[in-house]
């Protein structure tokens, strides 16, 4: 299990300006919907943006604390 605050810490470590909204999709703290807004996404396509999120969350994804993610990414503009 992982908390929304812990997810936010992982994402902000990779993208310090990230604004993160986390929704626990099932109530089991392992299926999440994320909305991440960061200037780090400027000029990046959707696939690259998703890769950035997955890289930031590599540890909890790898150890099984995250089972499923729905990702939405935006730039501040």
Question: How would you write the pLDDT of the chain (77 residues) with one tens digit per residue?
Answer: 999 999 999 999 999 999 999 999 999 999 999 999 999 999 999 999 999 999 999 999 999 999 999 999 999 98
Domains in the chain: ranges and CATH: 4-74 (3.30.300.90)
Residue whose token pair is 């993610």: 69
Instruction: Give the Cα separation of 15 and 72 in Å (integer).
Output: 15
Axis-axis angle for helices 4-14, 46-56 (nearest 10): 110
CA–chain centroid gap for 22, Å, is 8
CA dihedral 49, 76, 40, 61 (to 10 degrees): -50
Q: Can you give the pTM of this predicted structure?
A: 0.93
């Amino acid at each position: 299990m992982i908390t929304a605050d812990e997810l936010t810490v992982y994402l902000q470590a990779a993208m310090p300006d990230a604004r993160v909204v986390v929704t626990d999709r099932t109530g089991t703290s392992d299926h999440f919907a994320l909305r991440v807004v960061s200037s780090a996404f400027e000029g990046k396509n959707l696939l690259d943006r998703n890769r950035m999120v997955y890289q930031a969350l590599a540890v909890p994804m790898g150890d099984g604390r995250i089972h499923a993610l729905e990702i939405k990414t935006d730039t501040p503009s």
